[in-house]
Structure 1
Amino acid sequence: MRKLTLIALVLSAFILAGVSTAMAKDTVELAYVEWSSEVASTNVVQAVLQEKMGYECEITPVSGAAMWQATATGDVDGLVAAWLPTTHGHYLEKVKDEVVDLGPNLEGTRIGLVVPEYVSIDSIDQINEYAEKFDEQIIGIDPGAGIMSATEEAVEEYNMDNIELMEGSGATMTAVLKNRIEDKEWVVVTGWTPHWKFAKWDLKYLNDPKGVYGGEEFISTIVRQGLKEDMPEVYEFLDNFYWAPEDMAEVMVWNQDGMDPYESAKKWISENPEKVEKWLP
Protein backbone atom coordinates (compact mmCIF):
# COMPACT_ATOMS: atom_id res chain seq x y z
CA MET A 1 0.00 0.00 0.00
CA ARG A 2 2.84 2.38 0.93
CA LYS A 3 4.58 1.60 -2.37
CA LEU A 4 1.39 2.33 -4.32
CA THR A 5 0.89 5.58 -2.38
CA LEU A 6 4.47 6.64 -3.13
CA ILE A 7 4.02 5.89 -6.85
CA ALA A 8 0.76 7.86 -6.85
CA LEU A 9 2.49 10.85 -5.22
CA VAL A 10 5.34 10.74 -7.73
CA LEU A 11 2.89 10.55 -10.64
CA SER A 12 0.89 13.44 -9.20
CA ALA A 13 4.07 15.52 -8.95
CA PHE A 14 4.89 14.83 -12.61
CA ILE A 15 1.34 15.71 -13.66
CA LEU A 16 1.38 18.96 -11.68
CA ALA A 17 4.77 19.87 -13.12
CA GLY A 18 3.40 19.28 -16.60
CA VAL A 19 0.36 21.47 -15.93
CA SER A 20 2.58 24.20 -14.52
CA THR A 21 4.82 24.10 -17.58
CA ALA A 22 1.83 24.19 -19.89
CA MET A 23 0.46 27.23 -18.04
CA ALA A 24 3.77 29.10 -18.10
CA LYS A 25 3.70 31.96 -20.60
CA ASP A 26 6.53 33.08 -22.81
CA THR A 27 8.28 36.36 -22.05
CA VAL A 28 7.24 39.24 -24.28
CA GLU A 29 10.09 41.49 -25.43
CA LEU A 30 9.47 45.05 -26.61
CA ALA A 31 11.86 47.74 -27.81
CA TYR A 32 11.35 51.51 -27.58
CA VAL A 33 13.10 54.83 -28.05
CA GLU A 34 13.68 56.79 -24.84
CA TRP A 35 11.37 59.66 -25.66
CA SER A 36 9.06 60.65 -22.82
CA SER A 37 6.05 59.66 -24.93
CA GLU A 38 7.40 56.18 -25.67
CA VAL A 39 8.55 55.60 -22.10
CA ALA A 40 4.92 56.23 -21.11
CA SER A 41 3.26 54.01 -23.71
CA THR A 42 5.73 51.11 -23.49
CA ASN A 43 5.48 50.96 -19.71
CA VAL A 44 1.67 50.97 -19.91
CA VAL A 45 1.78 48.04 -22.34
CA GLN A 46 4.27 46.25 -20.09
CA ALA A 47 2.03 46.83 -17.06
CA VAL A 48 -1.05 45.42 -18.82
CA LEU A 49 0.85 42.35 -20.00
CA GLN A 50 2.21 41.66 -16.52
CA GLU A 51 -0.53 42.86 -14.18
CA LYS A 52 -3.59 41.89 -16.27
CA MET A 53 -2.49 39.08 -18.59
CA GLY A 54 0.09 37.15 -16.56
CA TYR A 55 3.04 37.51 -18.96
CA GLU A 56 6.58 38.51 -18.16
CA CYS A 57 7.51 41.50 -20.30
CA GLU A 58 10.97 42.91 -20.88
CA ILE A 59 11.33 46.38 -22.39
CA THR A 60 14.60 47.63 -23.85
CA PRO A 61 15.48 51.25 -24.74
CA VAL A 62 17.45 51.48 -28.00
CA SER A 63 18.00 53.88 -30.90
CA GLY A 64 15.30 54.28 -33.52
CA ALA A 65 17.23 52.27 -36.11
CA ALA A 66 17.95 49.44 -33.64
CA MET A 67 14.31 49.32 -32.52
CA TRP A 68 13.08 48.71 -36.07
CA GLN A 69 15.87 46.32 -36.95
CA ALA A 70 15.33 44.20 -33.82
CA THR A 71 11.63 43.82 -34.66
CA ALA A 72 12.36 42.98 -38.29
CA THR A 73 14.83 40.24 -37.31
CA GLY A 74 12.57 38.87 -34.56
CA ASP A 75 15.02 39.70 -31.76
CA VAL A 76 12.11 41.48 -30.05
CA ASP A 77 8.39 40.87 -30.41
CA GLY A 78 7.44 44.39 -31.32
CA LEU A 79 7.18 48.09 -30.51
CA VAL A 80 4.43 50.62 -29.81
CA ALA A 81 6.65 53.58 -30.74
CA ALA A 82 6.46 53.93 -34.54
CA TRP A 83 5.97 57.61 -35.46
CA LEU A 84 4.47 57.62 -38.95
CA PRO A 85 4.29 58.54 -41.73
CA THR A 86 7.19 61.02 -41.49
CA THR A 87 9.44 60.53 -38.45
CA HIS A 88 10.01 56.78 -38.81
CA GLY A 89 8.81 56.45 -42.38
CA HIS A 90 12.28 55.70 -43.73
CA TYR A 91 12.71 52.87 -41.20
CA LEU A 92 9.39 51.31 -42.16
CA GLU A 93 10.26 51.53 -45.84
CA LYS A 94 13.39 49.44 -45.25
CA VAL A 95 11.70 46.61 -43.33
CA LYS A 96 8.03 46.75 -44.40
CA ASP A 97 8.15 43.21 -45.80
CA GLU A 98 9.65 41.82 -42.57
CA VAL A 99 7.24 43.26 -39.99
CA VAL A 100 3.47 43.47 -39.38
CA ASP A 101 1.93 46.95 -39.02
CA LEU A 102 -1.03 46.81 -36.62
CA GLY A 103 -1.98 50.43 -37.27
CA PRO A 104 -2.21 53.50 -35.02
CA ASN A 105 -2.27 53.25 -31.22
CA LEU A 106 -2.43 57.05 -30.85
CA GLU A 107 -3.46 59.76 -33.31
CA GLY A 108 -2.94 63.52 -33.31
CA THR A 109 0.84 63.72 -33.02
CA ARG A 110 3.13 66.26 -34.63
CA ILE A 111 6.83 67.02 -35.05
CA GLY A 112 8.68 70.20 -35.92
CA LEU A 113 10.82 73.03 -34.57
CA VAL A 114 9.59 74.61 -31.35
CA VAL A 115 10.35 77.95 -29.66
CA PRO A 116 9.03 79.73 -26.55
CA GLU A 117 5.99 81.94 -27.15
CA TYR A 118 8.04 85.08 -26.41
CA VAL A 119 10.26 84.44 -29.46
CA SER A 120 8.97 86.91 -32.06
CA ILE A 121 9.39 84.80 -35.21
CA ASP A 122 6.74 82.38 -36.47
CA SER A 123 8.36 80.47 -39.33
CA ILE A 124 11.36 78.21 -39.89
CA ASP A 125 12.52 80.34 -42.81
CA GLN A 126 13.21 83.20 -40.34
CA ILE A 127 15.67 81.24 -38.18
CA ASN A 128 18.77 81.96 -40.24
CA GLU A 129 18.10 85.70 -40.09
CA TYR A 130 18.19 85.56 -36.29
CA ALA A 131 20.92 82.93 -35.95
CA GLU A 132 22.87 84.99 -33.42
CA LYS A 133 19.90 85.27 -31.06
CA PHE A 134 19.54 81.46 -31.22
CA ASP A 135 23.23 81.08 -30.39
CA GLU A 136 23.57 79.64 -33.93
CA GLN A 137 22.08 76.35 -32.73
CA ILE A 138 19.06 74.12 -33.01
CA ILE A 139 18.95 71.93 -29.91
CA GLY A 140 18.28 68.36 -30.99
CA ILE A 141 18.05 64.91 -29.44
CA ASP A 142 19.72 61.54 -30.15
CA PRO A 143 21.24 61.34 -33.64
CA GLY A 144 19.33 58.17 -34.61
CA ALA A 145 15.92 59.80 -34.13
CA GLY A 146 13.72 60.37 -37.15
CA ILE A 147 13.11 63.99 -36.15
CA MET A 148 16.85 64.58 -36.39
CA SER A 149 16.90 63.31 -39.98
CA ALA A 150 13.99 65.63 -40.77
CA THR A 151 15.79 68.55 -39.11
CA GLU A 152 18.97 67.89 -41.09
CA GLU A 153 16.78 68.15 -44.19
CA ALA A 154 15.19 71.35 -42.85
CA VAL A 155 18.62 72.94 -42.29
CA GLU A 156 19.43 72.24 -45.93
CA GLU A 157 16.01 73.14 -47.41
CA TYR A 158 15.82 76.44 -45.55
CA ASN A 159 19.49 77.32 -46.25
CA MET A 160 20.33 77.65 -42.56
CA ASP A 161 24.03 78.15 -43.25
CA ASN A 162 24.62 79.88 -39.91
CA ILE A 163 22.91 77.21 -37.81
CA GLU A 164 24.31 73.99 -36.30
CA LEU A 165 22.05 71.09 -35.30
CA MET A 166 23.23 69.94 -31.87
CA GLU A 167 22.94 66.24 -31.04
CA GLY A 168 22.06 65.11 -27.53
CA SER A 169 19.07 63.43 -25.90
CA GLY A 170 15.52 64.26 -24.93
CA ALA A 171 16.74 65.09 -21.42
CA THR A 172 19.49 67.46 -22.56
CA MET A 173 17.11 69.16 -24.99
CA THR A 174 14.58 69.93 -22.25
CA ALA A 175 17.36 70.98 -19.85
CA VAL A 176 18.65 73.56 -22.35
CA LEU A 177 15.08 74.68 -23.04
CA LYS A 178 14.44 75.14 -19.30
CA ASN A 179 17.62 77.17 -18.77
CA ARG A 180 17.02 79.44 -21.76
CA ILE A 181 13.41 80.08 -20.75
CA GLU A 182 14.44 80.96 -17.20
CA ASP A 183 16.82 83.55 -18.65
CA LYS A 184 14.27 84.70 -21.28
CA GLU A 185 16.74 83.84 -24.03
CA TRP A 186 15.84 82.71 -27.54
CA VAL A 187 16.08 79.00 -28.21
CA VAL A 188 14.81 76.61 -30.90
CA VAL A 189 14.49 72.88 -30.22
CA THR A 190 13.30 69.76 -31.98
CA GLY A 191 9.78 69.15 -30.71
CA TRP A 192 6.99 66.64 -30.87
CA THR A 193 3.47 66.23 -29.51
CA PRO A 194 2.52 64.66 -27.11
CA HIS A 195 5.29 65.90 -24.78
CA TRP A 196 5.16 67.16 -21.21
CA LYS A 197 7.09 70.34 -22.09
CA PHE A 198 3.97 71.83 -23.68
CA ALA A 199 2.16 71.52 -20.35
CA LYS A 200 5.06 73.10 -18.46
CA TRP A 201 5.94 76.07 -20.68
CA ASP A 202 4.26 78.33 -23.24
CA LEU A 203 5.67 77.03 -26.51
CA LYS A 204 4.77 77.19 -30.19
CA TYR A 205 5.66 75.32 -33.37
CA LEU A 206 7.31 77.34 -36.10
CA ASN A 207 5.45 77.25 -39.41
CA ASP A 208 6.99 74.91 -41.96
CA PRO A 209 6.10 76.37 -45.41
CA LYS A 210 8.23 73.81 -47.26
CA GLY A 211 6.48 70.90 -45.49
CA VAL A 212 9.71 69.23 -44.39
CA TYR A 213 8.14 67.85 -41.20
CA GLY A 214 4.98 66.62 -42.89
CA GLY A 215 1.53 67.09 -41.46
CA GLU A 216 -0.18 65.48 -38.50
CA GLU A 217 1.33 62.12 -37.54
CA PHE A 218 0.24 59.06 -35.61
CA ILE A 219 2.01 56.44 -33.50
CA SER A 220 1.69 52.85 -34.67
CA THR A 221 2.22 49.39 -33.22
CA ILE A 222 4.62 47.18 -35.19
CA VAL A 223 5.25 43.49 -34.42
CA ARG A 224 7.48 40.76 -35.75
CA GLN A 225 6.26 38.23 -38.26
CA GLY A 226 4.95 35.08 -36.60
CA LEU A 227 3.80 36.75 -33.37
CA LYS A 228 0.15 36.06 -34.20
CA GLU A 229 0.85 32.31 -34.36
CA ASP A 230 3.32 32.22 -31.44
CA MET A 231 1.44 34.46 -28.98
CA PRO A 232 -2.14 35.02 -30.21
CA GLU A 233 -3.23 36.69 -26.94
CA VAL A 234 -0.33 39.14 -27.04
CA TYR A 235 -0.94 39.84 -30.72
CA GLU A 236 -4.63 40.56 -30.08
CA PHE A 237 -3.85 42.86 -27.14
CA LEU A 238 -1.25 44.83 -29.13
CA ASP A 239 -3.71 45.06 -32.02
CA ASN A 240 -6.38 46.43 -29.64
CA PHE A 241 -4.07 48.88 -27.83
CA TYR A 242 -5.23 52.43 -28.55
CA TRP A 243 -5.38 55.55 -26.39
CA ALA A 244 -5.61 59.34 -26.68
CA PRO A 245 -2.93 62.06 -26.41
CA GLU A 246 -4.44 63.25 -23.12
CA ASP A 247 -4.06 59.72 -21.69
CA MET A 248 -0.40 59.63 -22.64
CA ALA A 249 0.15 63.19 -21.37
CA GLU A 250 -1.20 62.23 -17.94
CA VAL A 251 1.36 59.42 -17.61
CA MET A 252 4.17 61.65 -18.94
CA VAL A 253 3.46 64.34 -16.34
CA TRP A 254 3.57 61.76 -13.52
CA ASN A 255 6.91 60.52 -14.86
CA GLN A 256 8.27 64.05 -15.12
CA ASP A 257 7.19 64.73 -11.54
CA GLY A 258 9.46 61.90 -10.40
CA MET A 259 7.23 58.82 -10.31
CA ASP A 260 8.81 55.59 -11.55
CA PRO A 261 7.51 54.97 -15.11
CA TYR A 262 6.23 51.48 -14.28
CA GLU A 263 4.44 52.76 -11.17
CA SER A 264 2.89 55.54 -13.30
CA ALA A 265 1.73 52.90 -15.76
CA LYS A 266 0.18 50.75 -13.01
CA LYS A 267 -1.56 53.82 -11.59
CA TRP A 268 -2.99 54.73 -14.99
CA ILE A 269 -4.35 51.25 -15.75
CA SER A 270 -5.89 51.03 -12.27
CA GLU A 271 -7.64 54.39 -12.80
CA ASN A 272 -8.83 53.54 -16.34
CA PRO A 273 -10.24 50.00 -16.12
CA GLU A 274 -12.85 50.49 -18.86
CA LYS A 275 -10.23 51.53 -21.42
CA VAL A 276 -7.92 48.69 -20.44
CA GLU A 277 -10.78 46.18 -20.64
CA LYS A 278 -11.28 47.07 -24.32
CA TRP A 279 -7.66 46.14 -25.04
CA LEU A 280 -7.73 42.70 -23.48
CA PRO A 281 -8.29 39.59 -25.64
Structure 2
Amino acid sequence: MKKHPLNRRIRLATLALAAGTALAAGSAQAQDKGSVHLAYVEWSSEVASTNVVRAVLEQAGYEVEMTSLSAAAMWQAVATGDADAIVAAWLPTTHADYMERVGDEVVDLGVNLDGTKLGLVVPAYSDIDSIAELNDHADSFNNEIIGIDPGAGLMGLTEKVVDAYDLDLALRSGSGATMTAALESAIQNEEDVVVTGWTPHWKFARWDLKYLEDPENVYGGAEQIHTIARQGLEEEMPEAYAILDAFEWTPEQMGEVMLMNQEEDADPYENAKQWVEENQDLVQEWLPES
Protein backbone atom coordinates (compact mmCIF):
# COMPACT_ATOMS: atom_id res chain seq x y z
CA MET A 1 0.00 0.00 0.00
CA LYS A 2 1.29 3.46 -0.91
CA LYS A 3 1.99 6.01 1.81
CA HIS A 4 -0.95 8.33 2.32
CA PRO A 5 -0.16 11.62 0.46
CA LEU A 6 -1.60 13.70 3.31
CA ASN A 7 0.68 12.03 5.86
CA ARG A 8 3.68 12.63 3.63
CA ARG A 9 2.73 16.30 3.14
CA ILE A 10 2.33 16.76 6.90
CA ARG A 11 5.71 15.12 7.52
CA LEU A 12 7.46 17.23 4.91
CA ALA A 13 5.80 20.43 6.11
CA THR A 14 6.92 19.71 9.68
CA LEU A 15 10.48 19.08 8.54
CA ALA A 16 10.52 22.24 6.46
CA LEU A 17 9.17 24.33 9.37
CA ALA A 18 11.79 22.95 11.76
CA ALA A 19 14.59 23.57 9.29
CA GLY A 20 13.42 27.13 8.68
CA THR A 21 14.29 28.13 12.24
CA ALA A 22 17.91 27.10 11.67
CA LEU A 23 18.61 29.28 8.65
CA ALA A 24 21.54 31.65 9.06
CA ALA A 25 21.37 35.18 7.66
CA GLY A 26 22.84 35.36 4.19
CA SER A 27 23.35 31.60 4.00
CA ALA A 28 23.24 30.10 0.53
CA GLN A 29 21.79 26.89 1.91
CA ALA A 30 18.21 26.46 0.78
CA GLN A 31 15.44 25.88 3.29
CA ASP A 32 15.10 22.19 4.06
CA LYS A 33 12.90 20.77 1.34
CA GLY A 34 11.82 17.60 3.12
CA SER A 35 13.15 14.11 3.62
CA VAL A 36 14.19 11.60 0.95
CA HIS A 37 14.35 7.93 1.95
CA LEU A 38 16.92 5.86 0.04
CA ALA A 39 17.04 2.07 0.31
CA TYR A 40 20.08 0.05 -0.67
CA VAL A 41 21.64 -3.39 -0.47
CA GLU A 42 24.83 -3.83 1.57
CA TRP A 43 27.18 -4.25 -1.39
CA SER A 44 30.32 -2.10 -1.45
CA SER A 45 29.22 -0.60 -4.77
CA GLU A 46 25.78 0.34 -3.48
CA VAL A 47 27.12 1.65 -0.17
CA ALA A 48 29.32 3.98 -2.22
CA SER A 49 26.66 5.15 -4.67
CA THR A 50 23.87 5.59 -2.13
CA ASN A 51 26.04 7.66 0.19
CA VAL A 52 27.18 9.85 -2.70
CA VAL A 53 23.57 10.47 -3.73
CA ARG A 54 22.74 11.23 -0.10
CA ALA A 55 25.52 13.83 0.04
CA VAL A 56 24.32 15.45 -3.19
CA LEU A 57 20.70 15.57 -2.06
CA GLU A 58 21.81 17.12 1.23
CA GLN A 59 23.82 19.71 -0.68
CA ALA A 60 20.58 20.56 -2.48
CA GLY A 61 18.79 21.10 0.85
CA TYR A 62 17.12 17.75 1.56
CA GLU A 63 17.30 15.58 4.62
CA VAL A 64 18.14 11.99 3.66
CA GLU A 65 17.41 8.71 5.40
CA MET A 66 19.16 5.52 4.30
CA THR A 67 18.01 1.96 5.03
CA SER A 68 20.03 -1.19 4.31
CA LEU A 69 17.81 -4.06 3.15
CA SER A 70 18.01 -7.34 1.29
CA ALA A 71 17.67 -6.94 -2.47
CA ALA A 72 14.10 -8.26 -2.46
CA ALA A 73 13.06 -5.98 0.43
CA MET A 74 14.77 -3.01 -1.22
CA TRP A 75 12.69 -3.37 -4.36
CA GLN A 76 9.53 -3.98 -2.35
CA ALA A 77 10.14 -0.84 -0.29
CA VAL A 78 10.15 1.33 -3.41
CA ALA A 79 7.11 -0.45 -4.83
CA THR A 80 5.09 0.19 -1.66
CA GLY A 81 6.35 3.75 -1.20
CA ASP A 82 8.17 2.96 2.04
CA ALA A 83 11.34 4.15 0.26
CA ASP A 84 11.53 6.96 -2.27
CA ALA A 85 14.27 5.52 -4.49
CA ILE A 86 17.18 3.15 -4.98
CA VAL A 87 20.29 3.64 -7.09
CA ALA A 88 21.11 -0.07 -6.83
CA ALA A 89 19.03 -1.90 -9.46
CA TRP A 90 21.19 -4.31 -11.48
CA LEU A 91 19.48 -4.86 -14.82
CA PRO A 92 18.57 -6.54 -17.05
CA THR A 93 19.69 -9.86 -15.47
CA THR A 94 20.58 -9.78 -11.75
CA HIS A 95 17.38 -8.11 -10.56
CA ALA A 96 15.19 -9.34 -13.40
CA ASP A 97 12.89 -11.26 -11.04
CA TYR A 98 12.28 -8.20 -8.89
CA MET A 99 11.60 -6.00 -11.90
CA GLU A 100 9.16 -8.58 -13.22
CA ARG A 101 7.29 -8.61 -9.91
CA VAL A 102 7.05 -4.88 -9.18
CA GLY A 103 8.04 -3.15 -12.42
CA ASP A 104 4.53 -1.77 -12.93
CA GLU A 105 4.60 -0.19 -9.47
CA VAL A 106 7.89 1.74 -9.78
CA VAL A 107 9.53 4.23 -12.15
CA ASP A 108 12.77 3.28 -13.91
CA LEU A 109 14.88 6.44 -14.27
CA GLY A 110 17.44 4.63 -16.40
CA VAL A 111 21.14 3.84 -16.13
CA ASN A 112 23.34 5.49 -13.49
CA LEU A 113 26.37 3.28 -14.18
CA ASP A 114 27.33 1.30 -17.28
CA GLY A 115 29.89 -1.48 -17.55
CA THR A 116 29.07 -4.02 -14.86
CA LYS A 117 29.85 -7.72 -14.89
CA LEU A 118 28.84 -10.78 -12.85
CA GLY A 119 30.41 -14.18 -12.49
CA LEU A 120 32.59 -16.54 -10.51
CA VAL A 121 35.97 -15.11 -9.55
CA VAL A 122 39.24 -16.82 -8.63
CA PRO A 123 42.77 -15.58 -7.90
CA ALA A 124 44.77 -14.99 -11.07
CA TYR A 125 47.19 -17.75 -10.04
CA SER A 126 44.43 -20.38 -10.24
CA ASP A 127 45.06 -23.16 -12.75
CA ILE A 128 41.52 -23.07 -14.12
CA ASP A 129 39.93 -20.54 -16.48
CA SER A 130 36.36 -21.79 -16.91
CA ILE A 131 33.40 -22.73 -14.74
CA ALA A 132 33.30 -25.98 -16.68
CA GLU A 133 36.66 -26.94 -15.11
CA LEU A 134 35.53 -26.56 -11.51
CA ASN A 135 34.41 -30.15 -10.96
CA ASP A 136 37.83 -31.49 -11.93
CA HIS A 137 39.40 -29.30 -9.25
CA ALA A 138 36.59 -29.32 -6.67
CA ASP A 139 38.81 -30.62 -3.86
CA SER A 140 41.29 -27.77 -4.20
CA PHE A 141 38.39 -25.33 -3.87
CA ASN A 142 37.18 -27.09 -0.72
CA ASN A 143 34.08 -28.22 -2.64
CA GLU A 144 32.42 -24.83 -2.16
CA ILE A 145 31.65 -21.50 -3.78
CA ILE A 146 31.77 -18.57 -1.37
CA GLY A 147 28.69 -16.43 -1.93
CA ILE A 148 27.04 -13.36 -0.44
CA ASP A 149 23.65 -12.68 1.16
CA PRO A 150 21.05 -15.31 0.18
CA GLY A 151 18.51 -12.76 -1.08
CA ALA A 152 20.86 -11.27 -3.67
CA GLY A 153 20.05 -11.73 -7.35
CA LEU A 154 23.64 -12.82 -7.91
CA MET A 155 23.04 -15.78 -5.61
CA GLY A 156 19.96 -16.81 -7.57
CA LEU A 157 21.98 -16.71 -10.79
CA THR A 158 24.78 -18.71 -9.18
CA GLU A 159 22.31 -21.40 -8.13
CA LYS A 160 21.38 -21.65 -11.82
CA VAL A 161 25.08 -21.91 -12.66
CA VAL A 162 25.48 -24.80 -10.21
CA ASP A 163 22.59 -26.60 -11.93
CA ALA A 164 23.63 -25.74 -15.50
CA TYR A 165 27.18 -27.04 -15.00
CA ASP A 166 26.11 -29.84 -12.61
CA LEU A 167 28.74 -28.61 -10.16
CA ASP A 168 29.86 -30.71 -7.22
CA LEU A 169 30.57 -27.52 -5.24
CA ALA A 170 28.08 -26.21 -2.67
CA LEU A 171 27.09 -22.56 -2.82
CA ARG A 172 27.69 -21.06 0.63
CA SER A 173 25.75 -17.92 1.53
CA GLY A 174 27.06 -15.17 3.77
CA SER A 175 27.66 -11.50 3.05
CA GLY A 176 29.89 -9.29 0.94
CA ALA A 177 32.22 -8.94 3.92
CA THR A 178 32.53 -12.68 4.56
CA MET A 179 33.13 -13.27 0.85
CA THR A 180 36.03 -10.81 0.69
CA ALA A 181 37.43 -12.11 3.99
CA ALA A 182 37.52 -15.65 2.59
CA LEU A 183 39.14 -14.35 -0.58
CA GLU A 184 41.80 -12.44 1.35
CA SER A 185 42.60 -15.42 3.58
CA ALA A 186 43.01 -17.75 0.61
CA ILE A 187 45.25 -15.32 -1.28
CA GLN A 188 47.46 -14.76 1.78
CA ASN A 189 47.98 -18.54 1.91
CA GLU A 190 48.17 -18.91 -1.91
CA GLU A 191 45.23 -21.30 -1.85
CA ASP A 192 42.47 -21.81 -4.38
CA VAL A 193 39.13 -20.15 -3.71
CA VAL A 194 36.13 -19.34 -5.89
CA VAL A 195 33.72 -16.56 -4.96
CA THR A 196 30.70 -14.85 -6.44
CA GLY A 197 31.93 -11.60 -7.96
CA TRP A 198 30.79 -8.45 -9.62
CA THR A 199 32.29 -5.37 -11.19
CA PRO A 200 32.62 -2.66 -10.01
CA HIS A 201 34.13 -3.88 -6.74
CA TRP A 202 37.20 -2.77 -4.81
CA LYS A 203 38.61 -6.31 -4.62
CA PHE A 204 39.78 -6.06 -8.24
CA ALA A 205 41.93 -3.07 -7.33
CA ARG A 206 43.39 -4.79 -4.27
CA TRP A 207 44.14 -8.27 -5.66
CA ASP A 208 45.02 -9.88 -8.98
CA LEU A 209 41.82 -11.74 -9.87
CA LYS A 210 40.08 -13.18 -12.90
CA TYR A 211 36.55 -14.15 -13.88
CA LEU A 212 36.01 -17.77 -14.87
CA GLU A 213 34.68 -18.11 -18.39
CA ASP A 214 30.96 -18.93 -18.58
CA PRO A 215 30.51 -20.89 -21.83
CA GLU A 216 26.82 -21.53 -21.06
CA ASN A 217 26.35 -17.75 -20.61
CA VAL A 218 24.23 -18.25 -17.50
CA TYR A 219 25.39 -14.96 -15.98
CA GLY A 220 24.64 -13.09 -19.20
CA GLY A 221 26.58 -10.19 -20.64
CA ALA A 222 27.40 -6.78 -19.25
CA GLU A 223 24.73 -5.11 -17.16
CA GLN A 224 23.92 -1.62 -15.99
CA ILE A 225 22.92 -0.22 -12.62
CA HIS A 226 19.64 1.69 -12.75
CA THR A 227 17.95 4.26 -10.52
CA ILE A 228 14.40 3.28 -9.52
CA ALA A 229 11.91 5.69 -7.90
CA ARG A 230 8.53 5.24 -6.29
CA GLN A 231 5.45 6.39 -8.11
CA GLY A 232 4.45 9.93 -7.19
CA LEU A 233 7.95 11.14 -6.29
CA GLU A 234 8.23 13.35 -9.38
CA GLU A 235 5.02 15.18 -8.49
CA GLU A 236 5.76 15.51 -4.77
CA MET A 237 9.51 16.25 -4.89
CA PRO A 238 10.36 17.33 -8.44
CA GLU A 239 13.85 18.63 -7.62
CA ALA A 240 14.88 15.49 -5.74
CA TYR A 241 13.46 13.43 -8.60
CA ALA A 242 15.48 15.49 -11.11
CA ILE A 243 18.70 14.91 -9.14
CA LEU A 244 18.08 11.17 -9.01
CA ASP A 245 17.26 11.18 -12.71
CA ALA A 246 20.48 13.04 -13.60
CA PHE A 247 22.78 10.95 -11.37
CA GLU A 248 25.25 9.04 -13.55
CA TRP A 249 28.91 8.14 -13.11
CA THR A 250 31.56 5.66 -14.23
CA PRO A 251 32.95 2.47 -12.68
CA GLU A 252 36.25 4.31 -12.18
CA GLN A 253 34.56 7.10 -10.23
CA MET A 254 32.63 4.60 -8.12
CA GLY A 255 35.87 2.69 -7.57
CA GLU A 256 37.49 5.78 -6.05
CA VAL A 257 34.80 5.91 -3.37
CA MET A 258 34.85 2.15 -2.77
CA LEU A 259 38.61 2.21 -2.18
CA MET A 260 38.22 5.11 0.27
CA ASN A 261 35.70 2.98 2.14
CA GLN A 262 38.20 0.14 2.58
CA GLU A 263 40.58 2.26 4.66
CA GLU A 264 40.79 1.48 8.36
CA ASP A 265 37.96 3.10 10.36
CA ALA A 266 36.47 4.45 7.13
CA ASP A 267 33.10 6.21 7.32
CA PRO A 268 31.28 5.75 3.97
CA TYR A 269 29.12 8.82 4.57
CA GLU A 270 32.09 11.09 5.38
CA ASN A 271 33.99 9.67 2.40
CA ALA A 272 31.03 10.37 0.13
CA LYS A 273 30.84 13.97 1.34
CA GLN A 274 34.57 14.39 0.72
CA TRP A 275 34.30 12.89 -2.77
CA VAL A 276 31.31 15.11 -3.61
CA GLU A 277 33.20 18.18 -2.41
CA GLU A 278 36.22 17.26 -4.55
CA ASN A 279 34.14 16.51 -7.66
CA GLN A 280 31.83 19.52 -7.85
CA ASP A 281 32.16 19.82 -11.64
CA LEU A 282 30.44 16.45 -12.01
CA VAL A 283 28.03 17.04 -9.14
CA GLN A 284 26.82 20.29 -10.72
CA GLU A 285 25.73 18.26 -13.75
CA TRP A 286 23.38 16.32 -11.46
CA LEU A 287 21.87 19.40 -9.81
CA PRO A 288 19.01 21.29 -11.50
CA GLU A 289 19.86 24.75 -12.75
CA SER A 290 18.78 27.35 -10.20
Corresponding residue of 1:242: 248
Look up the equivalent residue of 1:194 and give its one-letter code.
P
Give the alignment of 1:116-135 within 5 angstroms. Answer: 116-135=123-142
Give the alignment of 1:182-193 within 5 angstroms. Answer: 182-193=188-199
Q: Does structure 1 residue 64 correspond to structure 2 residue 71?
A: yes
| Alpha-carbon distance between aligned partners in 2 of 1:194 and 1:215, rounded to the nearest angstrom | 14
Relative distance call for 1:18 and 1:166 in structure 2 (3 A) is closer
Give the alignment of 1:48-63 within 5 angstroms. Answer: 48-50=56-58, 52-63=59-70
Give the alignment of 1:170-189 within 5 angstroms. Answer: 170-189=176-195
- Structure 1, gaps ≥5 residues long: 1-16
1:151 shift after superposition: 0.3
Corresponding residue of 2:170: 164
Corresponding residue of 1:13: none
Match for 1:25 among 8, 25, 33? Answer: 33
1:18 shift after superposition: 11
Q: Does structure 1 residue 194 correspond to structure 2 residue 200?
A: yes
| Alpha-carbon distance between aligned partners in 2 of 1:155 and 1:96, rounded to the nearest angstrom | 28
1:223 shift after superposition: 0.2
**1:164-211 C-alpha deviation (Å, 9 max, x unpaired):** 000000000000000001111100000000000000000000000111
Coordinate RMSD, CA, aligned:
1.5
Look up the equivalent residue of 2:66 and give its one-letter code.
I
Q: Determine helix, strand or coil for the equivalent of 2:46.
A: helix
Q: Does structure 1 residue 105 correspond to structure 2 residue 140?
A: no
**1:137-188 C-alpha deviation (Å, 9 max, x unpaired):** 000000000000000000000001x210000000000000000011111000
Give the alignment of 1:68-107 within 5 angstroms. Answer: 68-107=75-114
Q: Does structure 1 residue 44 correspond to structure 2 residue 52?
A: yes
Look up the equivalent residue of 1:252 and give its one-letter code.
M
Which runs of at least 4 in structure 1 moved beyond 6 Å after TM superposition? none
Relative distance call for 1:18 and 1:34 in structure 2 (3 A) is closer
**1:54-93 C-alpha deviation (Å, 9 max, x unpaired):** 1100010000000000000000101000011111111111
Give the conservation status (yes or no) of the 8 Å contact 2:78–2:85. yes
| Alpha-carbon distance between aligned partners in 1 of 2:253 and 2:163, rounded to the nearest angstrom | 36
Look up the equivalent residue of 1:35 and give its one-letter code.
W
| Alpha-carbon distance between aligned partners in 2 of 1:18 and 1:146, rounded to the nearest angstrom | 40
1:129 shift after superposition: 1.3
Look up the equivalent residue of 2:112 and give its one-letter code.
N
1:26 shift after superposition: 1.6
Identity percentage over the alignment? 63
Give the conservation status (yes or no) of the 8 Å contact 2:148–2:173. yes
TM-score by length of 1: 0.91
TM-score by length of 2: 0.88
Q: Determine helix, strand or coil for the equivalent of 1:184.
A: coil
